[in-house]
Structure 1
Amino acid sequence: MSSGGTDATDLRFELPSVTDAAHADLVFGASFEAPRNVLHLRAVLPLPTAHIHFIPPAKVALQATLPPPTVSTLVLRPSVPLFVGGELGGSRSANLPGVACMGEVRYASHTQRPTVGKTTTPWQVAQQTENGATQGQQDGQRCPVGWSPPWQWASSLQIGLAHDLPPVLVPMVQQRTSGMQQALRLHDVTRFGHQDGHAMVLLRRALFQNASRLRASTHFAHQDADRSKRAGRVNYWQSAHGLFQRQGSDFQSATAWPVGWAGRYQEAMRPPPGICIRVVPPPPQVQACYTPSAHLLFDALAPASTHLLFVCERKSVLPPIGETVWVPIRKVYVVINQVRLYRWPDGIEVPAFNLSLSLDVASWCWGFDAQLPERAQTLLAPGGSSGPVELLARVNGKEFRLLAEDISRERSFGEARIRVSGRGRHAVLAAPYAPVMSFGNADARSARQLMDDVLTLNGISLGWDIDWDLADWNVPAGVFAHQGSWIEALNAIASSAGGYLQPHASDKRFRVRHRFPVAPWKWLDAAQPIVPDFVLPVDVVSRESIRWLQKPAYNRVFVSGQERGVLGQVTRAGSAGDVLAPMVVDSLITDAVAARQRGIAILADTGQQVEVSLRMPVLQETGIIEAGAFVQYRDGVIDRLGLVRSTQIEAGFPEVWQTLGVWSPASASTVSSP
C-alpha cells in the first residue's frame, strides 16, 4: 500500500502466531540461518503494548504513519540497523511520532568453557632469591699491567761529531834546516879549501813542503749531513715494533669439567608430602679383593725399599676405622677439590674468596678465618639478640659448623672485602655465650660421669655427647669443685689425667683423648709396635720444614691430689729416676690410674724432640687428617713416626691444602735401606 493510505494489506509471517495476541511480540527479519534481507512495513499498525524484536541480519524500515504505540522494551539484536525519519531505497519514509523506547543488546556466544587442568608437582614454588654463578676459581685481583723490557731507559745526551783531529789545533814553530853549519870568522887567510862557489839563492828546507792553497775544510769521519733534515740519533738497535704482551705458563687452558666429590653421606632433602614406601634392598655381595690371575700387575712405581705393597682392587674410598692408610707413590696426584660455604639453617650459599680452618691439641674447638666479597655482608649481619650467624663449611665432603663471631670490612681503591673470623659451634659452651656456674659432685662419681653431669642444666641434658678414650677412675663425693663455664669444667676434668678435648667438626660431640696414648719410649717396642694411621711418602708432600728441640730429660715425677687424693710416684721404665720433674698437684688425682696417666704425659714431653711441618693436598684416600693420628713419614733415608698435634686447612679456590704439625721424639726414627 502507499505510505499515506488507510487500506490494509496482509502481512506475511514466516512463523506461526502466538496464542496470546495482547502480549504478542512481533519479530521482523529472518532466522540466524536466513540470508540478509530488508522487511518493509507499509501499513498503519494499531499495535497494542508489545515487545518488538529485530533478529539479524534483517534490515527494518518503518515507512508508514503509525499511531503512537507504547513500546515497553525494544531489543536490538546485533547488525540490525533501524532507519527512522530517513531514506531507504530512494523513497522518502514517513514521519513517525516520537517513540519512547529502551534499548537492550543481548549477546549469547554459547562458548564452552571447560575446566582448566592442573598439574601437581612434588615441589613447592620456590622463592625468588638473588643468585649468582659459582665457578671453581676465585675472582682475580685487579693489579696494574706493565711492560718489563730487557733494557733500562737511556739517559739523554747531546749529539756530537767525532773526527780524527784533536779538538784544538796548537800552532807550532816552523823549523828550518840548513846544509852548512855556521863558519868561524878567520883573519888574513887567503887560501881556502874550496873554490869560490857560485852565488846561489839561499834555500830553506823544512820538514814540510809548501802546501797549495786550498779551501779551508775539516775532514771528519762522516760526511756533511743534509741541513734540511732534523738531527737524529743513531743507536745500536733499530726501532722496535709494538707487540702485544703475552704471558706463558706450563699449562694450557683447561676445559670446563663438572666437579664432584665423594663422601660418606649424601646431602639430605626434605621429603615431599605423601606416603613413602620403604623398600629393603638385598644385602650387598662381598667381592674378593683380587681377580684370580697368575700375573703381578704393579700400579705404582717401585719405592726405594724392597717391600711389596698389596692393596685391594675393590677397596672403598674411605678405609675402615683402625686400618692403616697407605698413600701410593705416583708421578702426579690429581685431586678434585670442592669447597662451599652456606648459612645455617636456611642453606643460602655465601660467596667466599678463601677459607682457613685450624685445630690443635691446645684448642677445644675449630677456629676459622675467611675473606668474602662486600655483597656477603647482608648474609652475615647478626640480627637482634639471637647471637652470631651460624655457617656450614663443606671441604671435600667434610662438614664444619662454625660461628661468625668477628666481622670487619676492608676497603681499598677499587675493591672492598669482608673478613670473618670465629670458632666452631662448640664455642656456645664457653664465654660469652655460657654463664659462669659452680660445679661439684655431691655423690661419688667416676670422671666419665662427672662430664655427663657438667653437660646438664637443672638435671636436663644439653644434648652433647662424650667419647671417652682415657682410663676411667673414681672421684669421691665433694672432691670436684669448679666455677666457670661448661667448657672450662670439661677441660679441667680432662687435663687432670693428661688428656685434652677434641671437638667433632659438625656434631655436638667431644672426644677425650690422651696426649700420649702410648709412651714415646715404647713406640719402637718389638713386642707391641705402633701401627700408624697414615703412611705418607715424600712424593705427596709439597713443603716440609723440620725443627729440633731440646727439653730437660726428666725421668721421674711426683703427682699428688689434695685433701682426699693420692700421692703417685711415676718413673720412666729403664731409667735411674735421678732427674726429678716439678711436682704436680690436682684435686682430681684421687686414684693411681689418674696419677699414672698424668705422670706419663709429663715425662713424655722431655728430652730431644723433633717438630715436622708437612704441607700436602687433601687426598681422597686420607681426607683431612686431624690431631691425635699416628703418621709415618719418610725423611730421606729416615722413617719418622710421630703424632699429629695440629691441622690447618687452607682453601684458596680451587686449591685446598692441609698443613700437619707432627711431633716426634728423636728416638722414634729408624734408618731404612736406600
Structure 2
Amino acid sequence: MPSTPIELALAATLPAPVVDVELGPHLVDLLFDQPAATDADLVFGANYIAPRDDVTVRATLPLPVVAIKFIPPARAELLAELPSLTVRSLILRPSVPLNVGTGAGASLPGVVFTGEVRYASHTQRPTVGQTSHHWQVARQTEDGADHGQQDAAATPAGWETFWRRTLASPHGIAHRLPPILAAAPEQRRTAQQQATRLIDATWFAHQDGTHLELARHGSFQNAVRLRDATRFRHQDGDRTKRAGRVAFWQVARLLTQHQGTDFQSTSPAPKGWHGRFQEAVPPPPGISVWVVPEPPAPQPCYTPSAHLLFAALAPADGQLLFVCENHTEPPPGGEPVVVPVRRVYFVINNVTLHRLPDGMPVPVFSLSLSLDAASWTWGFDAQLPAKAESLVAPGSAAGPVELVASINGTAFRVLAESISRERIFGDASIRISGRGRNAVLAAPYAPVMTFGNAEARTARQLMDDVLTLNGIPLGWTVDWGLTDWNVPAGVFARQGTWIEALTAIASAVGGYLIPHPSDQSIRVRHRYPVAPWEWNTVTPDFVLPVDAVARESLRWVEKPGYNRVFVSGQDVGVLGQVSRAGTAGDVLAPMVVDPLITEAAAARQRGIAVLADTGHQIEVSLRLPVLAETGIIEPGAFVEYQDGSVTRLGLVRSTQIEAGMPEVWQTLGVQGYA
C-alpha cells in the first residue's frame, strides 16, 4: 500500500509520538490530532477541536487491537485501506455508513472480524418534563365528631305570669261634664270663586283666579271658668256669649297690571338663496367639445429654493443628509423614516366615520382605537350624538353594523358590537364599542370546530388550512413573517374558533398576529425579529426626535436574567437546548413544551422569544401627533427615540389613537433595554 496520510479524529494508544508501523509489505502514515487514549482503541470521527501540530505515528500492524470505534462523520470503509487487519470488536455510532452482513464479518475486503459488531448510540434521553403538584394524597383519619350543643335535660317548673285576674270592685262614677252638650252647627264657605276669563292686550287665554279671603267665624270660644257647687271645671258653651274672631286676611282687591315681554312680533325679511345646482337646460344645436383635464403633476420632493435649510443637527461623519420634505410615503429600500426637527409641526387632521355598505356618514364627537402585541384585533370606541342611534343600531340585521373610521387617510373597518346611552341635563349622547373586522373569525360569530392535519404540512400551510370551511377558503390571506418548519401528520390538534387555531400556531414559536386595518389579511410576526443583544445591527423603521413628542414617560422593569432554556415537543418532536451566545448558559429558564416543536427551526425561534424577554428593560410611552411622515405607527416597528445625547431603540408593543377634533394623538408603548 502506498504511503498515504489518513486523517483520524482521535488518537490510538501508541507508545511514542513517532513510531514505525508496518502494514504488511507497505508503510502508511497515521495522523492523530489528540494524545494517545488509555484503552488501546482506535476511535474514528470524533468531534473536531482546535488545530495543533499533527503528530506522525508509524506502528506495526496487526496489533492487539481491543476495539475500533467509529463516530460520525467517520466512515467505516477506512478499515479497507488497512490490509491484513484483524478486528476483535467493532463499535459503531449512529449515522456511520457500513454495510454489515448477516454473519460475524463485514463487507470490507482485507479485514477480518473475529469478534462482534455492536451499535452504541450513546444518546442521552433526559427527562422531558415533570409535573409538580401542590397537594398530596390525604390520609384518612377516624375521629369522633364534636357537637357544640348537647341535649338539654327537661326540668319541670311552674309558669309565672306577670298579670293576675282582678276582682270586680263596683264603685260610683263621677262625671265632670253635663249629660248633654249643645251642638253648634255652622255653615262653611269656600275661599275661592270661579275665575272669570279676561281677554286683554296680552292675548292670554287664561288669567289667574282672584283669591278671595272671607271672614271666618269660629264655632267655639274660650270657655269661662265657673266655680259652683257642681265642681265642674268646664261649663256649657253658650253661642250668645261667643266673641267675634278676627281673620288674618281680608278680601283681596283685583289689581290689573300690564305685562311686558322681551320679544315682539317679527317682520319677515326676504333674502336670496344661492343653490349649488341649477335647473338643467337642453344643449343648443352644434358640436360640444369636451376638455379633458390634465392629470396633476407630481408634487416635487423639495420646494424650489436657492437656500439650504438645515433642519437637524450636523451628523458626526460630516455628510449632508437631504430629507424629502414633501414626501409622505415611506422611503424605498427599507430606509428609516426620519422626522425632521422643526420649530412648529403643522398637522391637518381629518377624522370621518361612515356606515357600510351604503356609505352613510355618521356624526361623531370623538373616537379611539387601540392595538397591542397580546391582541389580534383593533379595539374601537366612539361617542356619537343621540340622533345617530338609528345609524348604528343593528335593527333586523343578522349581525352588528360595520363602520369605516378614517383617521388622516388611514381607514379602519370595525364592528359596532355594543351600544350604550348617556344622558345629562341638556345633553344626550350614545357610546358604541367594538372590534376590528377580523372579529368575525372569533366568538360569537365563528363556530367552534376541530382542526388537525391528516398529512404532513408546514406551519404556513396549516394556517391556510385553518382559514377554510369544508375545504373552501374564507377569503382571508396570511402574511407569513416567521421561519417555516415541517409538522408531521397527526401532530396538530386544536378545538376552537378560527382565530384561536391561528393564535396556537403562531404562539408555538413565539409569534403573534397583527391585523390589517381594513383588508382581509392577517400578518404573522415574531415577538423579537432580531434578538435584543443584536439590536446594534438593526436599522430602525422610524427616527423620532424629542421635538416631535408631546409627552414621554419611562418605567424601569427588572426580569430574570435567563440565558438557557430547553424547548421540547410533546408526543412527536425534538428536544432543543437554546443558549444565549457569549454567556455561560448557567441560568436555566423553565422548560417549554409545545406539540408543534417538531424541528430545530421551531425550537430556536421559541427559545429566542424566551431568552429575549429577560434582564433590565425600559417601558417607554411616547405621545405624538399623527404626522404626515409617520402616519399611524403599528406594533412591531423599530423606533429610535432621540432625547438630546441619549438615543433609545425599542420595539413598539402597543398603539392607542385618540381622535377628538380638532386634535388627533397616538400613544406608543415601546419596549427597550437598559
Give TM-score, length-normalised by structure 1.
0.54
The residue that corresponds to 1:194 in the other structure is none
Aligned to 2:450, what secondary structure does the other structure show?
Answer: strand
CA–CA distance in structure 2, aligned partners of residues 313 and 567 of structure 1 = 51
Return closer, same or farther for 1:578/1:485 CA change in 2, 3 Å cut-off: same
Q: CA deviation at 1:300?
A: 1.8
CA–CA distance in structure 2, aligned partners of residues 574 and 652 of structure 1 = 50
CA–CA distance in structure 2, aligned partners of residues 288 and 404 of structure 1 = 41
| 2:318 is the counterpart of 1:310 | no
The residue that corresponds to 1:664 in the other structure is 672
Contact 1:356 1:369 in 2 (8 A): yes
Select which of 452, 455, 461 maps to 2:467.
Answer: 455
The residue that corresponds to 1:548 in the other structure is 556
The residue that corresponds to 1:489 in the other structure is 501
Contact 2:422 2:431 in 1 (8 A): yes
| 2:637 is the counterpart of 1:629 | yes
Aligned to 1:664, what secondary structure does the other structure show?
Answer: strand
The residue that corresponds to 1:558 in the other structure is 566
CA–CA distance in structure 2, aligned partners of residues 407 and 287 of structure 1 = 46
The residue that corresponds to 2:367 in the other structure is 355
CA–CA distance in structure 1, aligned partners of residues 437 and 607 of structure 2 = 32
Contact 1:611 1:662 in 2 (8 A): yes
Aligned to 1:319, what secondary structure does the other structure show?
Answer: coil
The Cα offsets for residues 82-128 of structure 1, whole Å up to 9 and x where unpaired, read as xxxxxxxxxxxxxxxxxxxxxxxxxxxxxxxxxxxxxxxxxxxxxxx
Contact 2:459 2:486 in 1 (8 A): yes
Q: CA deviation at 1:637?
A: 2.0
| 2:511 is the counterpart of 1:499 | yes
AA matched with 1:618: V
AA matched with 1:375: K
The residue that corresponds to 2:455 in the other structure is 443
Larger Rg: 1
| 2:413 is the counterpart of 1:405 | no
Q: CA deviation at 1:337?
A: 0.2
CA–CA distance in structure 2, aligned partners of residues 559 and 302 of structure 1 = 47
Return closer, same or farther for 1:500/1:408 CA change in 2, 3 Å cut-off: same
Aligned to 1:539, what secondary structure does the other structure show?
Answer: helix
The residue that corresponds to 2:309 in the other structure is 298
Contact 2:404 2:412 in 1 (8 A): yes
Contact 1:324 1:535 in 2 (8 A): yes
CA–CA distance in structure 1, aligned partners of residues 473 and 330 of structure 2 = 34
Contact 1:290 1:313 in 2 (8 A): no
| 2:336 is the counterpart of 1:324 | yes
Q: CA deviation at 1:416?
A: 1.1
Contact 1:570 1:599 in 2 (8 A): yes
What does residue range 490-529 of structure 1 map to in structure 2 within 5 Å? 490-524=502-536, 529=537
Return closer, same or farther for 1:316/1:288 CA change in 2, 3 Å cut-off: closer
The residue that corresponds to 1:372 in the other structure is 384
The Cα offsets for residues 300-338 of structure 1, whole Å up to 9 and x where unpaired, read as 254696865522558632123522111000010000000
Q: CA deviation at 1:412?
A: 1.6
Aligned to 1:346, what secondary structure does the other structure show?
Answer: coil
The residue that corresponds to 2:625 in the other structure is 617
What does residue range 153-168 of structure 1 map to in structure 2 within 5 Å? none
CA–CA distance in structure 1, aligned partners of residues 497 and 458 of structure 2 = 20
Return closer, same or farther for 1:520/1:313 CA change in 2, 3 Å cut-off: closer
| 2:652 is the counterpart of 1:644 | yes
The residue that corresponds to 1:33 in the other structure is none
CA–CA distance in structure 2, aligned partners of residues 307 and 366 of structure 1 = 44
Select which of 428, 446, 449 maps to 2:440.
Answer: 428
CA–CA distance in structure 2, aligned partners of residues 392 and 597 of structure 1 = 37
CA–CA distance in structure 2, aligned partners of residues 411 and 492 of structure 1 = 43
What does residue range 104-253 of structure 1 map to in structure 2 within 5 Å? none
Q: CA deviation at 1:285?
A: 9.8
Return closer, same or farther for 1:573/1:385 CA change in 2, 3 Å cut-off: same
Return closer, same or farther for 1:448/1:663 CA change in 2, 3 Å cut-off: same
AA matched with 1:415: D
The Cα offsets for residues 132-169 of structure 1, whole Å up to 9 and x where unpaired, read as xxxxxxxxxxxxxxxxxxxxxxxxxxxxxxxxxxxxxx
Aligned to 1:523, what secondary structure does the other structure show?
Answer: helix
Give TM-score, length-normalised by structure 2.
0.54
AA matched with 1:577: G
Structure 1 regions of 5+ residues with no counterpart?
A: 1-278, 667-674
CA–CA distance in structure 1, aligned partners of residues 301 and 642 of structure 2 = 31
CA–CA distance in structure 1, aligned partners of residues 303 and 352 of structure 2 = 37
Count of matched residue positions in the alignment of Structure 1 and Structure 2: 383
The residue that corresponds to 2:613 in the other structure is 605
The Cα offsets for residues 617-664 of structure 1, whole Å up to 9 and x where unpaired, read as 000010000000000001342100000000000001110000000001
Return closer, same or farther for 1:523/1:618 CA change in 2, 3 Å cut-off: same
The residue that corresponds to 2:244 in the other structure is none
AA matched with 2:657: I
The residue that corresponds to 1:345 in the other structure is 357
The residue that corresponds to 2:585 in the other structure is 577
Return closer, same or farther for 1:285/1:425 CA change in 2, 3 Å cut-off: closer
CA–CA distance in structure 1, aligned partners of residues 322 and 396 of structure 2 = 55
Return closer, same or farther for 1:349/1:566 CA change in 2, 3 Å cut-off: same
The Cα offsets for residues 568-590 of structure 1, whole Å up to 9 and x where unpaired, read as 00000000100000000000000
Structure 2 regions of 5+ residues with no counterpart?
A: 1-291
More deviation, 609-618/636-645: 636-645
| 2:399 is the counterpart of 1:387 | yes
Q: CA deviation at 1:290?
A: 10
Return closer, same or farther for 1:421/1:286 CA change in 2, 3 Å cut-off: closer
Q: CA deviation at 1:414?
A: 1.2
Select which of 463, 484, 491 maps to 1:472.
Answer: 484
Aligned to 1:317, what secondary structure does the other structure show?
Answer: coil
AA matched with 1:300: A
AA matched with 1:449: Q
Return closer, same or farther for 1:284/1:493 CA change in 2, 3 Å cut-off: farther
The residue that corresponds to 2:133 in the other structure is none
The Cα offsets for residues 562-609 of structure 1, whole Å up to 9 and x where unpaired, read as 111111000000001000000000000000000000000000000000
CA–CA distance in structure 2, aligned partners of residues 314 and 415 of structure 1 = 44
AA matched with 1:320: P
Contact 2:338 2:543 in 1 (8 A): yes
The Cα offsets for residues 56-91 of structure 1, whole Å up to 9 and x where unpaired, read as xxxxxxxxxxxxxxxxxxxxxxxxxxxxxxxxxxxx
CA–CA distance in structure 2, aligned partners of residues 370 and 283 of structure 1 = 36
CA–CA distance in structure 1, aligned partners of residues 404 and 340 of structure 2 = 32
Return closer, same or farther for 1:305/1:589 CA change in 2, 3 Å cut-off: same
CA–CA distance in structure 1, aligned partners of residues 385 and 490 of structure 2 = 54
Return closer, same or farther for 1:339/1:283 CA change in 2, 3 Å cut-off: closer
Aligned to 2:388, what secondary structure does the other structure show?
Answer: helix
Return closer, same or farther for 1:307/1:549 CA change in 2, 3 Å cut-off: farther
CA–CA distance in structure 2, aligned partners of residues 577 and 662 of structure 1 = 28
Contact 1:303 1:329 in 2 (8 A): no
CA–CA distance in structure 1, aligned partners of residues 297 and 492 of structure 2 = 51
